[in-house]
């Protein structure tokens, strides 16, 4: 672990650094925690509402006119406006087969969270009507244009839809998402059961946000308030993970594994001859996240040691807030080289759990019930072994669990679509493992390499 005085972050490595002679793969979990004191953030912290910008995007396509979805969406958007801190810059977009800025309407890109602008925005939201198709890429394009005009350091959007992106080609949506990367974070919500989980997950993953289902429109307002609250709690915007690896090493994978699985492997940008930067988005005081790295290095002989990786947390102003080191030590001691670190084993299982759920649901949707039963049975087995009680509850609504330990299940013939989509959207949420034990050694692992070696 490495921190300076009043550092905004701490980082700690969990790994078994011992490898057998000729082995070339290093696994490590790096836990990162933001300080609970906002003062530790220093100059990189968000300074008041004027340094924040929020965009609220809600679907007004024709299908929103059913089941009271549009009325609930308008109530939720109004609740989000009311939840904004005074002075926050905000805008409201209504989306169908095109995007329309409904507030502000006086030529400004952003309104300011004042009594007058709040009332104006809520009146404009209330006037929205359901009509047209769905082209989510145009909604994101307008949001990108708005965010590009602000100097606010914390930029966040909420996107709500009830349907698929049917009035654009997939490549058009993909291009819009790519153009937004790094400019703002976006939490995505689907209302009802006629939208595509994978479509919204792709947007949320690329834009470092969350995705979830709101099956009952009446729950939208509470969810919007919670998203605004979470966004406004992030005191540290635009944090990056900088990974250094030695000459000849290859990063095989980098995943956030807690609080949910997020594959960052292909998202790095070069920041030096041997370093890549990965956007992590904003952090709230006291927030903790875990990252699993797998690095392929040049194989060594018994007695060789090397620094296989260095993880740095870099703030928006370029300050390196903390570092954690990943080591490789080659040994002929079989007991050392075959030990699996508890954190690495736990999160490898959590990633497998998410993949098993998604593959099982995909197979069920395609009518391949045999594969679906095997995959969802494996998911039950993994969830039971890791104590993932919430996932077990969601799985039990989709399969009949006969033997959790063995993963023996039967598909429920009339499982509700909302239950399947809820399981899918929340499949990436993980159970976090505890920190280092009281004797200073990792739980189930070996001593952590320190900075300066």
- DSSP code of 193? S
Residue finishing a domain among 337, 368, 402? 337
Same domain, 241 and 366: no
Which CATH number belongs to the domain containing residue 350 in this structure? 1.20.120.1690
Alpha-carbon distance of 337 to 213, in angstroms, equals 44
Same domain, 302 and 354: no
Same domain, 193 and 137: yes
Written as tens digits, the pLDDT of the chain (453 aa) is: 444 456 899 999 999 999 999 999 999 999 999 998 766 556 567 877 889 999 999 999 999 999 999 999 999 999 999 999 999 999 999 999 999 999 999 999 999 999 999 999 999 999 999 999 999 999 999 999 999 999 999 999 999 999 999 999 999 999 999 999 999 999 999 999 999 999 999 999 999 999 999 999 999 999 999 999 999 999 999 999 999 999 999 999 999 999 999 999 999 999 999 999 999 999 999 999 999 999 999 999 999 999 999 999 999 999 999 999 999 999 999 999 999 999 999 999 999 999 999 999 999 999 999 999 999 999 999 999 999 999 999 999 999 999 999 999 999 999 999 999 999 999 999 999 876 554 444 343 333 332 332
> What's the pTM value of the predicted model, to 2 decimals?
0.92
Tell me, yes or no, whether 451 lies in a domain.
Answer: no
Which CATH number belongs to the domain containing residue 252 in this structure? 2.60.40.3670
Same domain, 306 and 399: no
Same domain, 200 and 125: yes
Range of the domain at 191: 49-232
CA dist list (Å): 167 to 54, 65, 129, 163: 26, 18, 18, 11
Same domain, 264 and 308: yes
Same domain, 397 and 417: yes
Q: What's the pLDDT score for residue 442?
A: 39
Residue finishing a domain among 290, 317, 337? 337
Same domain, 225 and 265: no
Same domain, 176 and 250: no
CA dist list (Å): 198 to 81, 204, 286, 415: 28, 10, 30, 19
Q: Count structural domains, the chain.
A: 3
Same domain, 137 and 29: no
Structure token pair of residue 144: 């990108």
Residue finishing a domain among 310, 337, 364? 337
Same domain, 181 and 220: yes
């Amino acid at each position: 672990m490495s921190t300076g005085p009043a550092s905004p972050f701490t980082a700690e490595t969990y790994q078994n650094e011992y490898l057998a002679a000729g082995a070339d793969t290093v696994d490590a979990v790096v836990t990162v925690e933001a300080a609970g004191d906002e003062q530790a953030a220093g100059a990189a912290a968000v300074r008041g509402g004027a340094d924040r910008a929020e965009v609220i995007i809600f679907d007004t396509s024709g299908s929103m006119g059913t089941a009271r979805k549009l009325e609930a969406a308008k109530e939720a958007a109004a609740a989000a406006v009311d939840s904004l801190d005074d002075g926050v810059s905000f805008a409201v977009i209504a989306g169908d087969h095109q995007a329309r800025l409904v507030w502000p309407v006086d030529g400004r890109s952003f309104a300011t969270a004042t009594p007058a602008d709040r009332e104006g925005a809520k009146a404009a939201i209330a006037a929205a009507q359901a009509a047209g198709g769905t082209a989510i890429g145009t909604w994101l394009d307008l949001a990108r244009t708005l965010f590009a005009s602000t100097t606010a350091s914390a930029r966040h959007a909420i996107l709500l839809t009830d349907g698929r992106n049917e009035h654009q080609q997939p490549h058009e949506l993909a291009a819009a998402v790519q153009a937004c990367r790094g400019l703002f974070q976006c939490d995505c919500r689907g209302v009802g059961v006629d939208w595509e989980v994978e479509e919204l997950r792709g947007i949320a993953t690329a834009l470092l946000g969350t995705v979830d289902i709101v099956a009952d429109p009446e729950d939208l307002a509470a969810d919007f308030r919670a998203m605004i609250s979470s966004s406004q709690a992030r005191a540290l915007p635009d944090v990056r993970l900088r990974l250094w690896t030695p000459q000849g090493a290859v990063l095989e994978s980098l995943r956030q594994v807690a609080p949910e699985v997020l594959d960052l492997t292909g998202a790095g940008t070069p920041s030096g001859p041997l370093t890549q930067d990965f956007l992590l988005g904003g952090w709230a005081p006291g927030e903790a996240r875990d990252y699993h790295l797998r690095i392929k290095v040049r194989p060594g002989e018994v007695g060789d040691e090397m620094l296989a990786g260095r993880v740095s947390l870099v703030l928006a102003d370029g300050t390196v807030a903390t570092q954690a080191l990943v080591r490789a030590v080659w040994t002929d001691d079989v007991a050392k080289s075959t030990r699996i670190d508890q954190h690495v084993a736990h999160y490898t299982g959590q990633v497998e759990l998410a993949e098993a759920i998604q593959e099982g649901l995909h197979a069920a949707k395609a009518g391949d019930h045999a594969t679906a039963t095997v995959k969802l049975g494996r998911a039950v087995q993994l969830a039971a072994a890791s104590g993932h009680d919430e996932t077990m509850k969601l799985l039990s609504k989709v399969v009949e669990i006969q033997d959790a330990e063995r993963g023996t299940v039967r598909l429920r013939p009339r499982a509700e679509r909302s239950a399947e989509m809820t399981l899918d959207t929340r499949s990436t949420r993980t159970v976090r493992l505890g920190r280092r034990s009281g004797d200073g050694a990792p739980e189930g692992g070996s001593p952590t390499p320190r900075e300066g070696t």
